[in-house]
Structure 1
């Protein structure tokens, strides 16, 4: 892999973790939204699926 591809991959991982943490915090702050870990895991799965589909093409 080139260094550019590795940098993009690292950026995507960091954005995914940041998004999951933000969603988990929002759900933790407002419990009516759902269980924090379940929502955070769902966001991570959605991001990984999206990245996988994009990288497959």
Structure 2
């Protein structure tokens, strides 16, 4: 993989952690929206799926 692909994956992971943290914070502050752990785990699952797509496309 090239350096640009690795930097793209790093950026995606960092933005993903930010999004998961924001989802967890919102769910914690407003428990009626969703259970905080479920929201954070769903966000993490989306992050893993996006990283897997980027890595798969990067190897072609």
Check whether TM > 0.5.
yes
TM-score bracket for the superposition, by shorter chain length:
0.7 to 0.9
| Structure with the larger RCO, 1 or 2 (CA within 8 Å, 6+ apart) | 2
What is the RMSD of the two structures over their aligned residues, measured on CA atoms? 1.5
Aligned length: 57
Taking the TM superposition and a 5 Å limit, the aligned residue runs for 1:1-57 are 1-53=1-53, 55-57=55-57
CA distance in structure 1 between the partners assigned to 2:50 and 2:6 by the alignment: 17
Unpaired runs of 5+ residues, structure 2, are: none
CA distance in structure 1 between the partners assigned to 2:38 and 2:52 by the alignment: 21
TM-score (normalizing by structure 2): 0.78
Unpaired runs of 5+ residues, structure 1, are: none
TM-score (normalizing by structure 1): 0.81
Q: Which has the higher helix share?
A: 1
